[in-house]
Chain A
Amino acid sequence: MATRDPSMICCFRLLFLLLFSVPLIASSSSWASMHHNNWAVLVCTSRYWFNYRHMANTLSLYRTVKRLGIPDERIILMLADDMACNMRNNYPAQVFNNENHQLNLYGDNVEVDYRGYEVTVENFMRVLTGRHDPAVPRSKRLLSDEGSHILLYMTGHGGDEFLKFQDSEELQSHDLADAVKQMKEKNRFKELLIMVDTCQAATLFNQLQSPGVLAIGSSMKGENSYSHHLDSDIGVSVVDRFTYYTLAFFEKLNMYSNASLSSLFNSYNPRTLMSTAYYRMDLYQRPLPEVPVTSFFGSVMKTIHTDAAYMGLSIPPKTEAQFLPGDGGNHQLRIENEPDLEKDGNKQTKELHCIYHEWLNLLQERFENTDAELLFRYGFGTMVFLLTISTWLLA
């Protein structure tokens, strides 16, 4: 071993490289894990004139997210049929979601990305997973990355663990979960909010497993989602209840509002919805009262000066909170829920000092709450029990 093996040197070099690149990768991933863009995928899956309301639902959401700042190139709008220029439409090139006809949802600047026969389960899955034919233009792709917040809104007719597309195909909860899982693996989103307005919408989320996913459905298993009201001029129902009340919530907001997701969730009243809105939050890490709705429904970007371009990959890790539009919102919420948060803070500091203090606390609480004598009896019983077992084993 007088001369060193060149392959060994190579190995060492590689090791060194790896060692050095680890912090670099870590820092770049922290850059990537910041929320820096918003996307929206809005899907109306129903065909035929009597499903006018589903298109109106989708277009209402389209208008809302556009108003709150998501640009058209970051919205994928899928409409399964043409309602605005439908022969049955008494108001050509206009779509309304209210009887009063004050707001034309189909204004002069609607960009529909997938329409008519293009709205299929296949295309929907392709959009989510990003597996397209190379010829497909950018406007039809969801070009999100690991820093994206995506809003996925779907409306149509659904059932137990499925959603009908165009009255001929079905998207099953397994398909949706698979697509979301694939998206997570491909780093196509940071956080995903799925909002579904169909009958038995909650069942569509049953199979979801990927972290960072928040889901809202208009109704529980076994419940129907109903339309809100009928427009006698147009001749069909124009909006669904869940979407109507969602819009009612958003109409009060503007781009800089600080309303949190939990306030949106709390705004749904089962009596007015005639169904129970369902939220699946177990896959979502952040506390909902601290997440502003604009982190999904809007796109308010702050430009932050970074030296990234000049210093290569070594970017100082920044906290996410700096980047979020809802700083003020956090503050406001803290004022509202002051005592609770303080308690949490105390607990955390204690934990830092000494872990078994927790145990003592727990015991003390128990003593306060339960009958001490009963506890003593139980304790005595278990001691005797242990004693007998040990003697029996020895014998």
Chain B
Amino acid sequence: MAALCRRFTGFHFLLVLVSLSISSLVFGDWIGDDEGEQFTEELLLKPLPDRKVLAHFHFQSTAHPSPDSGHHHHLFPKAIAQLVQKFQIRDLELSFTQGRWNYENWGGSDPISSTNAKPPGVELWATFNVPVVEIDTTWKNLTHALSGLFCSSINFLESSTSYTTPSFVFGLNVSNIRYGALPREAVCTENLTPWLKLLPCRDKAGLATLLDRPSIYKGYYHSQKLRLTSTKLSGIILEQTLTIVLQPNIQRNSAHSLLDGAIQPSWSISSMFKRNLTGSCVLARTSRILVELEKNIVSKLEELGHGGSWSNSLLDLSPNPFRVIKEVNPFPEESNSILFEYVNSKEYEPLDVGIKWKLPFVWSSPHAPFHASRFLMGSGTERGSIAISLQSTKSDEYFRSKSNECRMQAVVFQVVPWYVKVYYHTLQIFIDQKLQNLSDVIEKIRVTPSEDKKLPGTLELVLGYPCTVQSVALTLDFDKGFLHIHEYPPDANQGFDIPSALVTFPNLHSSRIYIGDDSSVHSPLLLKFQEKNVVLSYTEVLLVPFTTPDFSMPYNVITFTCTVLALYFGSLLNVLRRRIGEEERLMRSKDATKRGLIPLIVSKITSKLRGMPRSKPLLIFAVVLSVLFHYIVN
């Protein structure tokens, strides 16, 4: 019987082997196939004006929509596919950010700033394909699932006080969207590691090997984002981006010691990440590195007479790029940004892309037309007001050259926790320091007032004003609410964070068009750049100081009241129960019958003996015992 069994298992094993080999033959072709699952990895490097370098990793995995593949995936992370399937996610964006994007120095109107500049902490929004009544439970389950997946406390977004339903900010006019943000969430290695585990090569091969944790987290800004899009037609598209701003180490150059302070620091991949790039992830369809020179650098190069060259008197790009991709600008008089492409293939020599600056050079990044910031006004721990200000950056000559008919639109989206009780009727709008009539400026407004311990307050507002305006300011008054003692966080003395407000400019887009892009390059990153993304900027997180009770106060109060009560009742009882006459009589009688202790005991014993005449045997027994004891001890 056993032998038969063995034979059977042997046969089964053979069958499995055969089927495996067949499937590997079939699926082996799929990896490169357009219809199958795909994975691409790209890295964009860009020098920033304030002596820093931007590194933007872009990993994209796609799963085909056909249901016949069932639960099996080749490259696509199973965890994400299950998530999409279980919660019927249509769109999802989750970002973990530490640091604040510097819109003034790092750019405000380019595709990276509009898609990858994120508010500090965690931001999550998602749309679902479920009936409206089920959305809240789906959202709750999703936050729990994500918190387990990414080792973070996203589950705090489950309570209805922390998420909201924006109606028109995200451009999707849908009711099945949910948005939530946790401004104080810490972001560290434990969030990055599960994110990297979603990549088919993890951080063992390809561009992800560069992610040396200490060098990443030393940076000025890092934002790790996960974007999911699921449709019936195209299947699931998972975009994972990591945007880091790093400060390259200044390499002292003895020849130009005088100019060292002015020259931009030279950098290369190995000097910034402390790791070498050797080869690509073999499962990736494309693996490339792009170096971008902004249009302001390019215009300078054109002035110097070498436009589009990578080795000139200003800077040296090494090694030689594989291809140069130029942007096509709608305004032909301006210069365009240039991308230098490197293909990261299997080579024995590490690909160490870097820029060496030769001359001091100052430039600026393209700004958004208005710079948004938010601050608190007022003092004290009772009330205050929030102000959002939009300052013209005066950089966009395009708007200034146009006539006065040009109108600018700005959408403001702000979520405020319930304990900051905003009075929306106090909304005031100043344009160029002049108070405006609200109906002149506001094109559309939607307010969801907060409900105590139930709903956060949400403000969505479309402002319309002429392009030539210098500054726009909004103010809103609020009262600081009282919290229950259990609702205070352990570090309540630090104050409470109000999540970043979002300001978008719906008629400005950050799309770029590149020459010869679609067929020859086929880069998801560049395709992403060509999408019509609305220019947006996040404001600062506000820290609102609150009255925090002394948490030991209840105990003090309890002990103090108890003492007072005890004293009161004690003395009251004493007074009520005391009979002074009786006491005096007792005292007198005590004085009369005062005797020594030993005579008292003797008299008591004798009285006892006299009272009990049958106690004679007991007495004898006691005597016998004492004699015995004496005998034994001796």
Contact = CB atoms under 8 A, between A and B. Distances in A.
A and B associate: yes
A230 B187 CA distance: 26
Given A92-B217, A138-B148, A109 B153 contact: no
Interface in B84-125: 98
Contacts of A168: 488, 490, 551
Interface in A370-395: 377-378, 380-381, 384-385, 388, 392, 395
B189 A110 contact: yes
A166 B149 contact: no
A160 to B, nearest CB: 16
Interface string B478-515: 00000000001111000000000000000000000000
A388 B190 contact: no
Contacts of A166: 490
B156 A385 contact: no
A84 B628 contact: no
**Chain A contact residues, majority secondary structure:** loop
Given A47-B490, A93-B216, A384-B628, A113 B151 contact: yes
A137 B190 contact: no
Interface in A124-167: 133, 135-140, 166-167
B474 interface: no
Interface in B209-255: 213-214, 216-218
A91 B188 CA distance: 12
Given A137-B147, A168-B551, A84 B489 contact: no
A107 to B, nearest CB: 8
A85 B629 CA distance: 79
B148 A137 contact: yes
Given A108-B189, A111-B193, A135-B144, A116 B153 contact: yes
A186 to B, nearest CB: 22
Query: What is the interface residue range for chain B against chain A?
Result: 35 or more
A112 interface: yes
Nearest to A118: B153
A92 B632 contact: no
A109 B185 CA distance: 19
Contacts of A392: 617, 621
B214 A111 contact: no
Given A92-B217, A381-B628, A385-B628, A85 B186 contact: yes
Contact of B140 (A93, A107, A135, A137): A135
A117 B190 contact: no
B624 interface: yes
B213 A108 contact: yes
B203 interface: yes
A91 B214 contact: yes
Given A47-B491, A85-B217, A117-B490, A106 B621 contact: no
Contacts of A133: 144
B202 to A, nearest CB: 10
Contacts of B624: 384, 388
A388 B621 contact: yes
A119 B275 CA distance: 36
B369 to A, nearest CB: 33
A117 B148 contact: no
Given A93-B213, A381-B628, A117 B189 contact: no
A115 interface: yes
A287 to B, nearest CB: 40
A175 interface: no
A335 B187 CA distance: 52
A94 interface: yes
A108 B193 contact: yes
Interface in B180-197: 185-190, 193-194
B439 to A, nearest CB: 43
B632 to A, nearest CB: 5
Query: What is the interface residue range for chain A against chain B?
Result: 35 or more
Interface string B597-634: 00000000000000000000100010011001101100
A201 B528 CA distance: 57
B145 interface: yes
A137 B187 contact: no
Interface in B123-159: 140-141, 144-145, 147-149, 151-153, 155-156, 158
A178 interface: no
A50 to B, nearest CB: 13
Contact of A93 (B141, B188, B621, B628): B188
Contacts of A109: 193
A392 to B, nearest CB: 6
B422 to A, nearest CB: 24
A167 B628 CA distance: 67
A223 interface: no
A99 interface: no
A231 interface: no
Contacts of A381: 628-629, 632
Contacts of B490: 47, 117, 166-169
Contacts of A111: 151, 190, 193-194
A101 to B, nearest CB: 12
B425 to A, nearest CB: 34
B186 A116 contact: yes
A96 B145 CA distance: 31
B144 A115 contact: no
Contacts of B629: 381
A117 B157 CA distance: 13
A140 B148 contact: yes
B620 to A, nearest CB: 9
A91 B156 CA distance: 29
Contacts of B148: 136-140
Contacts of B190: 110-112, 115
Contact of B141 (A82, A115, A135, A169): A135
Given A82-B188, A84-B188, A115-B151, A137 B625 contact: no
Given A92-B218, A392-B617, A137 B149 contact: yes
A332 B119 CA distance: 60
Contacts of A113: 151
Contacts of A395: 617
Contacts of B145: 135, 137
A135 B143 CA distance: 9
Nearest to B194: A111
B63 to A, nearest CB: 22
A92 B214 contact: yes
B189 A84 contact: yes
A48 B490 CA distance: 10
A138 B148 CA distance: 8
B186 to A, nearest CB: 3
A391 B580 CA distance: 57
Interface string A167-193: 111000000000000000000000000
Given A92-B217, A166-B490, A380-B632, 7 more contacts: A48-B491, A84-B217, A106-B188, A113-B151, A133-B144, A136-B148, A381-B632
Q: Which 10 A-B pairs have the closest CB atoms?
A: A137-B148, A82-B186, A166-B490, A92-B217, A85-B188, A135-B144, A93-B217, A168-B490, A93-B213, A139-B148
12 contacts: A84-B188, A84-B189, A85-B187, A92-B214, A110-B193, A111-B193, A111-B194, A115-B186, A136-B144, A136-B155, A166-B490, A168-B551
